[in-house]
Amino acid sequence: EADIYQTPRYLVIGTGKKITLECSQTMGHDKMYWYQQDPGMELHLIHYSYGVNSTEKGDLSSESTVSRIRTEHFPLTLESARPSHTSQYLCASSHYYQGQETQYFGPGTRLLVL
């Protein structure tokens, strides 16, 4: 059973505010990911990390930043929230075990930017 946590679960915020979405996992997984998902649409990769001090940009990275100072923690920051950022944000981690690499997802953060 994977333990991956996201806070807050829901957030309503005004345009221009700086926000940080938190993600933590207790499995010691090296790889972590942030995705954005709109209803009925595919997941879009925002950022990912191969391990501590490693961060990479995905398809939608231009308006956000991440950090990976500790293995278990991978926060996502939006410097200036806009209504177009309204979406669900999913954090995931993965590990390689017995020839397989499986992703585990957190419950998500629903963001509404007014």
Using CB under 8 A as the binding rule, whether residue 58 contacts other proteins is answered as: yes
Q: Which residue has the tokens 């996201």?
A: 6
The one-character DSSP state at 36 is E
Residue from 19, 76, 92, 113 that binds other proteins (CB under 8 A)?
92
Stretch that binds other proteins, among 12-20, 68-76, 77-85, 96-104 (CB under 8 A): 96-104
Those residues whose C-beta lies under 8 Å from the C-beta of residue 111, and which sit 6 or more positions away, are: 11, 13, 19, 21, 81, 85, 86, 87, 88, 89
Report in angstroms how near the CB of residue 111 gets to other proteins at its nearest. 13
Separation between Cα atoms, residue 1 and residue 57, nearest integer Å: 28
Binding-residue total with other proteins (CB under 8 A): 26
Write out the residues near other proteins by the rule CB under 8 A: 4, 6, 31, 33, 35, 40-43, 45, 48, 58, 88, 90, 92, 99-108, 110
